[in-house]
Amino acid sequence: MFDARLRPLIDPPLERLAAAARQAGWTADGVTVTGFLIGMLALPAIAFEAYGIGLLLILFNRLADGVDGAIARLTVKTDRGGFLDIALDFIFYSSVPFAFALANPTDNALAAAFLIFSFIGTGCSFLAYAIMAEKRDLSTDIRGQKSLYYLGGLTEGFETIILLVLACLLPTWFPTLAWIFGTLCWITTTTRIYAGWRAFG
C-alpha cells in the first residue's frame, strides 16, 4: 500500500549503497543470493526463540533485497536477476511464519499456516497478473523500475516488513498479527483477482 510513496525516500540511500557495493565487486545476483542465504538463518534463530537475532537477519535480507535492484539499475537488469529476486523473496517470506510455528507449535502453528496460505494468495495473484501483463506489453514504474509488472495492493513489501518486525519484537503477539495480516492479504488477493478479471477480459 505504501511502497510507491516510499520509493522517493528509500531509493537515494539504496543507490548510494549499491554504488559502494558495485565498487567492491558485488553483482546484483551476488547480493540477491547472499541476502537470501543470510536471511534464511532467521528460520533457525526464530525457531530457537532468538528473536532479536532473527530480526537482525530479516532486516539484512530486506536491505539486500533493495540493494540488489539498485545495483541492477546501475548496471543492467536481467531476466535471471528478476527471476531470482522474486522466487527467493517468496521462499524467504514464507520461512518466517514457519519459524514461528516451530518456536511454539501449540500457540503459533494454526496462525502460521493461515499466514502462509494467505501468502500463497497474494503471491499467485501477483505473479499471474504479471504474466498476463507481460503478454500484453503492459508496464508500470510506479514502484520503481522492475523486471516484471508490479501490481499493488493493501499488503505489499513495506507492510510485510512491518509484520515481520513486530512479530520478532512481540513474539507472543504472533498469532494475532498473523490472523490480522493474513486477512488483509486476502483482501489484496481479492482485489488483484478482480483487477485481472477486468483488465484481461
Confidence class for position 160, pLDDT limits 50, 70, 90:
very high
Q: How far is CA 191 from the centre of its chain?
A: 19
Q: What distance in Å separates the CA atoms of residue 131 and residue 48, rounded to the nearest whole number?
A: 39
Q: Do 36 and 43 meet the contact criterion of CB atoms below 8 Å apart? A: no
Superfamily of domain 3-199: CDP-alcohol phosphotransferase transmembrane (TM) domain (1.20.120.1760)
User: Which DSSP letter does residue 144 get?
Assistant: B
Q: What is the mean pLDDT of residues 104-119?
A: 97
User: Which DSSP letter does residue 153 get?
Assistant: -
Local structure of 26: helix, strand or coil: coil
Contacts of 137 (CB under 8 A, 6+ apart): none
| Rounded (10°) CA dihedral 177, 183, 184, 186 | 140
Q: What distance in Å separates the CA atoms of residue 111 and residue 54, rounded to the nearest whole number?
A: 19
Residue that has been written with the C-alpha cell 507472543 in this structure: 172
Q: Do 87 and 68 meet the contact criterion of CB atoms below 8 Å apart? A: no
pLDDT in tens, 2-53: 455 556 667 678 888 888 888 888 999 999 999 999 999 999 999 999 999 9
All structural domains of the chain with their residue ranges: 3-199
Q: Do 178 and 112 meet the contact criterion of CB atoms below 8 Å apart? A: yes
The single-letter code of the amino acid at 197 is W
pLDDT attached to residue 1: 55
pLDDT in tens, 89-109: 999 999 999 999 999 999 999
pLDDT attached to residue 72: 86
Q: Do 188 and 153 meet the contact criterion of CB atoms below 8 Å apart? A: yes
Is residue 112 pLDDT above 50, yes or no? yes
